Structure 1
Amino acid sequence: MLAILLRHPRCSALLAGFLSAAGFAPLSLWPVTLACFFALLLLIEAAPDRRTVFTRGWLFGLGHFTLGLNWIAHAFTFQDAMPHWFGYGAVILLSLYLAVYPGLAALTAWWANQRMRSGGPLPLILLFAAFWIATEYLRAVAFTGFAWNPLGAVLLPTGVAIASTLIGTYGLGALVVLASGALMLASRRHFASAPAILLPLCVIALWGQIAAAPQAPAGAPRIRVVQPNIGQGEKYSPTLEAEHFRAYAALTGAPRPAPRLIFWPEAAVPAYLDMEPEWRTRLAGLLGPGDLLMTGGDKVYYKEIDKGLYVDRVLSGANNSLWVVTPDARIAARYDKAHLVPYGEYLPMRSILQPLGLSRLVPGDADFWPGPGARSLDLPAALGRPAMKMGVQICYEIIFSGHVVDRANRPAFLFNPSNDAWFGSWGPVQHLAQARLRAIEEGLPIIRSTPTGVSAVIDARGHVRHALSLGRAGFLDTSLPPARPPTLFSRTGNLAPMAFLILLIAVAIATRESRR
């Protein structure tokens, strides 16, 4: 196999990277991902120098992200300020940057292996797994971070993803590398080392397949998740506002004797709820005596400009917010999105880029402002429903492992209102996969409500209990799944994968074989 790869090593790296993304949803071909990383390990091991090994890792990353992030091109079809074809260029440009991180992982692993003067592939495999953790974490935090499609997401169908309760999502990425490395060891007839890696992974997979989440007890709060199937092209149309509200009202249903928690998607309400009491009254009319409505909507800020004869009020900024509305038309709580999407919700270097004709993807002239970060909102008790705490992560925020929960004020569940209507067919299912990883890591159920899908109720083990598929209007009416006791990861955050990183390096040093 190595001889075939080395005939055209750059093309081999690019193709292997491209095919490796088939392990992500919607394809979920995780064995293909393992085979592709096996090929990458062979290319790294055979690299003669630092420049070559970085180039191979970078080309692998270029292919990997180009396929995995193809849905981004679809977002540009809803943006008239920029040409639609630019979306394909945006995918390539972003992939050119993101590919640096696999390149760095390959380079640092190869360099450390050379410095240790080790013989045999095992230390290189362990080092590459360790540095994959480091570079994937770096990708999630550098330049505001872009943590989409962490490698560990390919393990969701296998049951191995349950290990994220211990080592987090970044640690799962290392397990993918180790599994691929086991294939490499087996191909070299290292019949002691390969089982030493595969056996623990099989045990973890079995654990993941048989471990069940706790069942909702009798009297658990009732929830209703609404998905109206309103497309991005019509979402902000003023002429359709009344029709959209009727759709939301119909799917919310008539009030019942038992209190409900009702969940609407991100930006569901085209009103400023703190400034428009008539809209709050309108929403309250849909609620029973003990109901609460969680809905997305903007919070706006104005600045006053003295024009001499009069004072003009100009929109200066906004928050992408989640509002909790009560049956008596009060606002019980509000959460402001903290991790905003660059070029989506705000335009970096606006003074330079706007004159060039570039704009952000979300409609409007003013940028969104970030909120204070993860926190738990208090939901009041009502008609036998106990008071509880709800964590909120709006849309994109849910992808950031270790940053979704206020650890000092742990909630009973997380709500992830989202707008995936412009994510094509690949983006929404990838988004769902990442929400499932957060549920496993934190031991918390997650509720997702989106305009066009995938809306879902996810239990604390990451199982999708109920879902509404893409392009379907409907609602989910069920009981709120219970939380699990805090996991190791929920207590330590990303210190856990970093400890795993150190362990992998230590084992690599301990198992190196001196070159003769």
Structure 2
Amino acid sequence: LIVNRRAYAAIVLVIVLLVYSIAPAKLDRHRLDPQAYVRIVQPNLPEEAKPTADYAEANFQALARLSGKPNPSHPRLILWPEGAIRFPVEDGYPRYVYDLMGSAQTARIRMASLLGDHDAILTGTQGMYFDKRTENMTAATNSIAVIGPDAQLHGRYDKAHLVPYGEYLPMRPVLEAIGLSRLVPGDVDFIPGPGPRTMAIPGFGKVGMLICYEVIFSGHVIDPGNRPDFIFNPSNDAWFGTLGPPAHLAQARLRAIEEGLSIVRATPTGISAIIDPDGTIRQSIPMGRAGAIEGPVMRGAPTLFSHLGNSMALIVSAILLICAIAIRRLAR
């Protein structure tokens, strides 16, 4: 009887430790940087608007207005949504690109004019690739650009998990030959980046980058060799009706809990949010509303899942199976 009681106690202890290990990360209520804030901008311009020059300008004006004024008391990391700007921010493209869409330097100067000396902007943008001989566009990237107060491009992240039939046409040569290339708008595919990336943003720490639905891939949302301090997830959920945005936000909350990291989301039409490492939505902007939210990013801590990844499901299942077998034998 004493042996059975000790065995039961050991099993209960294992289960308690297991539950504790997978519980949401405890928050260190100290901010990552007491002086550093993120400011998330949601312009709420309809996605069905034609991407004309007038629309691109109206979109920029909305983003600029909601980005607010520099605050000498604390630096601001201003976060704009996926695809926020409709003009190039990189040099080196064929001249006709800038003739049609405007100067990249002018675009960066306009963005830098919104910043204080220690601010930065992370914005959704598009990278482009061209044939050197013909100057025809051959590929594009769905990207995040880092713009500093010096009007320079300080880094770019390219989306790795692309949406088939939305961002690229699988087996394009075959489908084009049978007339199905119209399944994807345009005749240029997006190409993937190398995967999760952590970028050091001076004054704001290390930022993990995930674009749109990249945040749904459990166990594949950070660079394991360079863990970020928090994750930036710009997205355009306007395509997904009224049911998609809440579901997408829920997935982001799960990733925050799994990794023990804050996630900040910027979307054009909602739901933009600051999510704490325990999954709590600290601030948000609802769907269909223009606005901005500003606040510090909370510090988390690595979780057991962040070390084990999706193999944790197998480990937990094995432990529970062993406990179940042990309990059954003890009950005989």
Distance 1:378 1:235, change over 3 A: farther
Counterpart among 243, 250, 257 of residue 433 in structure 1: 250
Once the 2 structures are TM-superposed, how far is the Cα of residue 320 of structure 1 from its aligned partner? Answer: 0.8
CA-atom RMSD, angstroms?
2.6
Tell me by how many angstroms 1:406 deviates. Answer: 1.0
Specify which structure has the higher proportion of helix.
1
Residues 97-108 of structure 1 mapped to structure 2, 5 A cutoff: none
Q: Distance in 1 between matches of 2:181 and 2:246?
A: 28
Superposed CA deviations along residues 51-85 of structure 1, whole A, max 9, x for unmatched, are xxxxxxxxxxxxxxxxxxxxxxxxxxxxxxxxxxx
In structure 1, C-alpha distance between the alignment counterparts of 2:136 and 2:325, rounded to whole Å: 62
1:343–1:359 contact (8 Å) kept in structure 2: no
Between Structure 1 and Structure 2, whose CA radius of gyration is higher? Answer: 1
1:314-463 map, 5 Å: 314-354=136-176, 355-360=178-183, 363-381=185-203, 388-463=205-280
Query: Which residue in 1 is equivalent to 2:82?
Result: 266
> Which residue of 1 is the match for residue 36 of structure 2?
221
Q: Distance in 2 between matches of 1:411 and 1:267?
A: 23
Give TM-score scaled by structure 1 length: 0.54
State the aligned residue count.
300
Give, in angstroms, the shift of residue 511 of structure 1.
7.4
**Is 2:315 aligned against 1:493?**
no
What is the alpha-carbon distance in structure 2 between the residues aligned to residue 435 and residue 316 of structure 1? 33
CA contact (8 A) 1:225 1:455 kept: yes
1:477 and 2:303 matched: no
Structure with the higher strand share, 1 or 2: 2
**Normalising by the residue count of structure 2, what TM-score does the alignment of the two structures yield?**
0.83
Distance 1:342 1:509, change over 3 A: farther
Does 2:128 correspond to 1:300?
yes
Residues 235 and 267 of structure 2 are in contact (CA less than 8 Å); yes or no, is this contact kept in structure 1? Answer: yes
Gap change, CA 1:466 and 1:419, over 3 Å in 2: same
Q: Per-residue CA shift, 1:478-506, capped at 9, x if unaligned?
A: 11222x22111111212211222333555
> Counterparts of 1:352 and 1:285 in 2: how far apart (Å)?
47
Deviation per CA, 1:343-390, whole angstroms, max 9, x where unpaired?
Answer: 1111102123344345455x4321111111112101113xxxxx5110
1:317 and 1:369 in contact (8 A); partners too: yes
**Structure 1 runs (4+) greater than 2 angstroms displaced:** 211-218, 235-239, 351-361, 500-513
* Alpha carbons 2:56, 2:85 under 8 Å: kept: no
User: Which residue of 299, 319, 330 maps to 1:503?
Assistant: 319
Q: Are residues 330 and 360 of structure 1, via their aligned partners in 2, closer, same or farther at CA, if it must alter by over 3 Å? A: farther
CA shift digits 1:150-173 (9 cap, x unpaired): xxxxxxxxxxxxxxxxxxxxxxxx
3-state SS in 1 of match to 2:169: coil
- Please, which runs of 5 or more residues in structure 2 have no aligned partner? 1-10, 92-103
1:508 deviates by 6.5
> What does residue range 188-227 of structure 1 map to in structure 2 within 5 Å?
213-217=27-31, 219-227=34-42
Whether contact under 8 Å (1:345, 1:360) holds in the other structure is no
Q: CA deviation at 1:449?
A: 0.1
